[in-house]
Amino acid sequence: AGFAVQLLTLFPEMFPGPLGQSLAGKALERGDWSLETLDIRGFARDKHRSVDDTPFGGGAGMVMRPDVIDAAIRSIPARGGEIGRLIYLTPRGALLTQDKVKEIAASPVVTILCGRYEGVDERVLQSHGAEEISVGDYVLSGGEPAAMVLIDACVRLLPGVMGNHTTPDEESFEEGLLEYPHFTRPALWRDGADKEWAVPEVLISGHHEKVKAWRRAEAEQVTQARRPDLWDKRVRRGN
Ligand code: ADE
């Protein structure tokens, strides 16, 4: 497959999960991408199969052991595989952006490390030159849902995956704008409180240029209102 993902996790049964459904799932079946899940616990050394230990310096929670993570990563080349780009998902990482997604989706092989507990021993991350990525400024209980987010965002960019859907570079996000609002039939809809909602007139006018201008204005307005950070970036880029 053009995009081979290897996933290191303590919860291999979570995968493919949602990635086995819908667009990503169909693409997986077609072989447009592949997913190999490695159970980190399988690389524990001692009889208790422990993968974590208490943090040096004290404090709450547990830290994943460097020797166990290292053994899991090294098992890939040991089986004749390639590690490719090594990504560690953590809220300490660089925020994931569409530009970063494009870059990762263009990599033939990606290895993703999902941490649990308080994190992973820093030394093994440095030793392997792991790239740290966050999917947002909030804390998940583990890297697994973040891995699903990252993989989904990459897979939809693979050639042929989107099919009839939006061309990714037609999306307003590519232009640094949020999407304009969408409407479908019925043109006049009555809600539960008996209120009537009409579709914006311009959308049924048949004037392609007017529709385009209206959508553009709506996208700009919603971006200014909700994401002044994105809007300022656009203004600084000169529209
Ligand atoms: N693990 C826990 N929270 C995360 C986040 N926001 N991004 C990536 N990995 C995480």
Pocket of ligand 1 (CB under 6 A): 89-91, 134-136, 138-140, 143, 146
pLDDT at 171: 67
Question: By the 8 A CB rule, do 67 and 45 touch?
Answer: yes
ipTM of the predicted structure? Answer: 0.98
Residues 89 and 189 in one domain: no
25 secondary structure, DSSP code: H
Average pLDDT over residues 85-101: 97
Count of structural domains, the chain? 2
Last residue of a domain, one of 122, 155, 188: 155
Residue 215 lies in a domain: yes
Residues 195 and 148 in one domain: no
Residue 165 lies in a domain: no
Ligand 1 pocket check: which of 64, 113, 135 to mutate, most ligand atoms within 8 Å of Cβ?
A: 135
Closest by CA to 86, choosing from 156, 155, 154, 133, is 133
Q: What is the DSSP string of 57-78?
A: T--SS-EE-HHHHHHHHHHHHH
Residues 27 and 107 in one domain: yes
Residues 137 and 197 in one domain: no
The residue range of the domain holding 190 is 171-237
Assess whether pLDDT exceeds 90 at residue 166: no
CATH label of the domain that carries residue 215: 1.10.1270.20
88 CA → ligand 1 middle, Å: 9
Question: By the 8 A CB rule, do 146 and 137 touch?
Answer: no
Residues 194 and 115 in one domain: no
pLDDT at 52: 96
Average pLDDT value over all residues in the chain: 95
pLDDT at 2: 86
Could you tell me the pTM of the whole model? 0.94
Last residue of a domain, one of 120, 155, 190: 155
pLDDT at 167: 62
The pLDDT > 70 percentage for the chain reads 96
Residues 127 and 203 in one domain: no
Residues 216 and 143 in one domain: no
The pLDDT > 90 percentage for the chain reads 89
Using DSSP, state whether 17 is helix, strand or coil: helix
Residue 164 lies in a domain: no
**Interior angle at CA 18, CA 14 and CA 230, nearest 5:** 115
Average pLDDT over residues 83-92: 98
